[in-house]
Each structure stands twice: as structure tokens, then as C-alpha cells.
């Protein structure tokens, strides 16, 4: 990946996370000096208590939590589908990810809405002051990895995704992940606990690539060509990449790439 490496190297002088840089139909972002907080929301359109959490996740940027501070992702799980409404954004793989993190955190159950901050369960998300203090505390930690992510169009209905990660310390059981996410989604729910309500969502994970193991040299690299579903809106798509210790669940660094695909 010489071209990608050279391109990412040229961004090193930028001191903050760059939401999107477009060069000849390619866009890229690189993690900054802060340890960005990966915010994971596990949610479902079949869960009556989830809409307030969905709205909260959508409001983070407007509340002052920019891409240099937080990287939000909404994982829709499928275990509420049996109630009568099948969540079209849900995947069994996201349910399994939530359960895997529960095992790492030695929790006996999973629930929705659940918020994770950098891999740890966090129940104070609705308290703005408490959340700001917690995010600031994580931001002050030295990043455990440096990440670069880039994307370019692949024909009319695909994208080529490239990502690199370099650990700053011991490798442990770290892995790189890349998420394709979509904003401005909505559904009129016709059954289940939210019947009759219009639900709106942002940062919805459409595809999750990984885990990509970090080598003994502390490096990870990925290149993936992804065919876009006809129903996905290219102007509302973005990427997020993060490095996570799969033994402890700790997220060492995260970066977001805005809608430039």
C-alpha cells in the first residue's frame, strides 16, 4: 500500500482529527493527539426505551462532542425482533458483539439501550455534565494507537476502504475494526413496542470489518472493497475505525471519517 502510506504520512502534520479530506475522489482521516472515545449504542426499533437513546446519540456533535472527542456508532441488535417488528438495521453479528463485550466485562446479561464508552458499560449517558467529565477523562489518556483510514469510489456502487493501525505500546490481543455507518435513517414502525411511532437514527453501522489482528510488530493493515446496498444513501455514509484490546475490551483509539464517499 505505498500510495496509501504516503498519503496518510502527509497528514501527520495535522494536529487534530480531520473529518474528511478529499483528493481525486479519495477521502481520508487520521487519529489525533487526543484519545477519542468510541461511543457504542446497542439499540433496537423493537425496544420502547431505545428512542431517547437514539436521539441522544444523534445530538452528540451539536452538544460539543466533536469527532476529535467522540466517535459514535449505533449497533442495532436482533433479539427484540420476536415481539413483532423486525428491525431492518439489526444484524446477528452486532448482537454477538454485544454479548462478547458482556463476557469480557463479566456481565451476566445484555440489554438495550446500552451505551459503552471505549469498551466499558456506561449508564450515566443521559447526564450531560457527568458524560462530559467522563469523556474528558478518557480524552486525557495517551492514545494507545495511531489510526489512518481512507476510502475511494469503486465504480458506481462500491467503495474501496483502506485502514492502518500502529500501536504505541505492547500489542497484547489488539485488533483493528472498520465500520461503515449511515446517518439520516428513519422508519414508520407498524408493530411491536414502538408501533405508530416514526423513529430516526444516525451513525447506524451498516457493515463492520474485523477483527483484524495487530501483528507482533504492533501493526495492522486492511484493504476491503465493499459493494453498497442499493438502499444505502452514499451522501450519508461515513467510516469509523478503532483499535480494541479483545482481552480487556479497552478501546485504544478511534477515528471518524465524515460523509465523503
What pLDDT score does 219 carry?
Answer: 96
Q: What SS3 string covers 70-127?
A: EEEEEEECCCCHHHCCCCCCCCHHHHHHHHHHHHHCCCCCCCCCEEEECCEECCCCCC
DSSP state of 260: -
pLDDT of residue 77: 98
Give the pLDDT confidence score for residue 24 in this predicted structure.
43
| Residue 210: how many other CB atoms lie within 10 Å | 20
pLDDT given for residue 25 in this prediction: 55
pLDDT at position 258 is: 86
Closest CA to 35 of 188, 125, 147: 147
Per-domain residue ranges of the chain? 2-257
Evaluated on CA atoms 80, 85, 87, 93, the torsion sign reads positive
**Which three cell numbers, joined as nine digits, stand for 10?**
502527509
Q: Consecutive 10-residue runs of the chain (261 residues): their mean pLDDT?
A: 37 37 67 97 98 98 96 98 96 98 93 97 95 98 97 90 94 93 97 97 98 96 94 95 96 92 72
pTM: 0.89
Q: What top-level class would CATH report for the domain 2-257?
A: mainly beta
In order of 74, 89, 151, 233, the CA distances from 65 in angstroms are: 16, 25, 24, 24
In angstroms, the CA 129 to CA 118 distance is 18
User: CA distances (Å), 97 to each of 93, 105, 147, in order?
Assistant: 6, 12, 21
Closest by CA to 214, choosing from 121, 117, 144, is 144
Question: Are the CB atoms for 241 and 205 separated by under 8 Å?
Answer: no
Evaluate whether 247 touches 238 at the Cβ level (below 8 Å). no
Residue 211, classed as helix, strand or coil, is strand
Ramachandran angles phi, psi of 102, nearest 5°: -60, -40
- Of 117, 32, 111, 42, the residue nearest 76 (C-alpha): 42
Whose CA is closest to 135, among 239, 245, 31, 251?
251
User: d(Cα 1, Cα 55) in Å, to the nearest integer?
Assistant: 39
Any alpha helices (H) in the chain, and if so which ranges?
2-9, 51-58, 92-104, 128-139
Amino acid at each position: 500500500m505505498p500510495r496509501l502510506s504516503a498519503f496518510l504520512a502527509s497528514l501527520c502534520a495535522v494536529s487534530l482529527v480531520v473529518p474528511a479530506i478529499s483528493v481525486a475522489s479519495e477521502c481520508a482521516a487520521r487519529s489525533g493527539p487526543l484519545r477519542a472515545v468510541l461511543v457504542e449504542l446497542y439499540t433496537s426499533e423493537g425496544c420502547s426505551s431505545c428512542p431517547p437513546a437514539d436521539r441522544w446519540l444523534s445530538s452528540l456533535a451539536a452538544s460539543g462532542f466533536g469527532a476529535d472527542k467522540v466517535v459514535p456508532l449505533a449497533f442495532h441488535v436482533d433479539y427484540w425482533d420476536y415481539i413483532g417488528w423486525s428491525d431492518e438495521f439489526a444484524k446477528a453479528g452486532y448482537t454477538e458483539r454485544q454479548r462478547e463485550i458482556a463476557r469480557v466485562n463479566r456481565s451476566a446479561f445484555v440489554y438495550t439501550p446500552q451505551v459503552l464508552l471505549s469498551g466499558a458499560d456506561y449508564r450515566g449517558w443521559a447526564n450531560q455534565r457527568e458524560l462530559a467529565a467522563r469523556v474528558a477523562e478518557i480524552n486525557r489518556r495517551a492514545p494507545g494507537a495511531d489510526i489512518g483510514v481512507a476510502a475511494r469510489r469503486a465504480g458506481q456502487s462500491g467503495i474501496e476502504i483502506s485502514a492502518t493501525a500502529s500501536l504505541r505500546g505492547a500489542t497484547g490481543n489488539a485488533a483493528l475494526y472498520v465500520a461503515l455507518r449511515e446517518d439520516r435513517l428513519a422508519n414508520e414502525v407498524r408493530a411491536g413496542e414502538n408501533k405508530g411511532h416514526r423513529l430516526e437514527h444516525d451513525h447506524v453501522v451498516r457493515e463492520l470489518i474485523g477483527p483484524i489482528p495487530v501483528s507482533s510488530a504492533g501493526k495492522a493493515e486492511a484493504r476491503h472493497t465493499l459493494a453498497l446496498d442499493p438502499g444505502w444513501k452514499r451522501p450519508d455514509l461515513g467510516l469509523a475505525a478503532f483499535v480494541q484490546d479483545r482481552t480487556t475490551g479497552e478501546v485504544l483509539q478511534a477515528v471518524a471519517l465524515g460523509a465523503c464517499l
